[in-house]
Structure formats: structure tokens, C-alpha cells
């Protein structure tokens, strides 16, 4: 769990030294990359902010803060993602969902595998020429 301190904001360069600034930035980075994870919404979060509440093990619930209310948008339980208010099983069978998820592009290093549909123009780096499909 990682949340920034409310005292970390409005940094005064005339008061905060380099070591203090590094500690503040490290706390802020930890909060950012953990989706402001904690038992409750951090006091500094503003409307439109996301935060994650850990459950047991690797379970998490992610909320969107509206400025007045926390709205659950997704939950991960036992490695399964549940989107709030979305029941794909009413539209697709498990096999269809598995097939859709299998049709993705995987990247490992410089190698991409899987289906890739390109529309429009691609600008490439110096080792590939640009093309229009």
C-alpha cells in the first residue's frame, strides 16, 4: 500500500532541501504506481481520481472518486477481473470471451506475435520504411 502524505504537496523550494524533495517524490511515485493503494481513499484525491483498496492476498477493488462518492469500477478476485456493472456472460459465452482475449498482440523484447490490424499510415523508425496499407 502506498499513498502520499498530504504535507507532500505545495513544495516550497526555499524550505525543502534536496534529500527532503527526493523523499517526497519517492512517496508520490509510490502512490502513483500503486493507484494510491490503501485501506481508504487518500484525503488528497480529487474528483476523477482512481484509488485501489487491497483485499486478501492479491485481491483489489479499484474506485473512481467523483468528488463526493467512491464508485467501484473493477475488482480483481482470485486472479479474475470483474468490471462493475458489466456481465459479459450475458452477451458472450466463456469460450467466446476466451477466444477474444486470445486474439491480442504479445510483445517480448523486439518481437510481436499475434494478430495485428493496421488502418491508416504508420510512421516507422530508421530501420523500417514507412508504408500505407
pLDDT tens, 12-21? Answer: 889 999 999 9
SS (H, E, C) the chain: CCCCCHHHCCCCCCCCCHHHHHHHHHHHHHHHHCCCCCCCCCCCCCCCCEEEEECCCCCEEEEEECCCCEEEEEEEECCEEEECCCCHHHCCCHHHHHHHHHCCCEEECCEEECCCCCCCCECCCCCCCCECC
Asked, for residue 63, whether it belongs to a domain, the answer is: yes
Asked, for residue 36, whether it belongs to a domain, the answer is: yes
Asked, for residue 33, whether it belongs to a domain, the answer is: yes
Three-state DSSP at 6 gives helix
DSSP E strand stretches across 1-133: 50-54, 60-65, 70-77, 80-83, 106-108, 111-113
Total count of domains within the chain: 1
- pTM of the complete model beyond 0.75: no
pLDDT digits (tens, 9 = 90+) for 63-105: 999 999 999 998 888 777 777 776 666 666 777 766 766 666 6
Asked, for residue 127, whether it belongs to a domain, the answer is: no
Asked, for residue 110, whether it belongs to a domain, the answer is: no
Does the pLDDT at position 62 exceed 60? yes
Range of the domain at 52: 6-90
Asked, for residue 85, whether it belongs to a domain, the answer is: yes
pLDDT digits (tens, 9 = 90+) for 119-128: 555 444 434 4
| Count of other CB atoms within 10 angstroms of residue 25 | 13
Asked, for residue 80, whether it belongs to a domain, the answer is: yes
Amino acid at each position: 500500500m502506498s499513498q502520499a502524505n498530504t504535507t507532500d504537496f505545495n513544495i516550497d523550494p526555499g524550505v525543502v532541501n534536496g534529500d527532503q524533495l527526493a523523499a517526497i517524490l519517492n512517496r508520490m511515485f509510490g502512490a502513483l504506481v500503486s493507484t494510491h493503494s490503501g485501506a481508504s481513499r487518500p484525503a488528497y484525491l480529487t474528483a476523477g481520481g482512481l484509488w485501489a483498496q487491497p483485499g486478501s492476498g492479491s485481491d483489489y477493488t479499484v474506485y473512481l472518486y467523483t468528488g463526493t462518492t467512491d464508485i467501484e469500477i473493477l475488482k480483481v478476485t482470485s486472479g479474475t477481473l470483474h468490471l462493475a456493472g458489466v456481465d459479459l456472460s450475458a452477451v458472450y459465452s466463456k469460450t467466446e470471451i476466451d477466444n477474444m482475449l486470445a486474439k491480442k498482440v504479445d510483445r517480448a523484447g523486439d518481437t510481436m506475435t499475434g494478430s495485428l490490424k493496421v488502418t491508416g499510415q504508420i510512421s516507422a523508425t530508421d530501420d523500417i520504411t514507412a508504408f500505407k496499407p
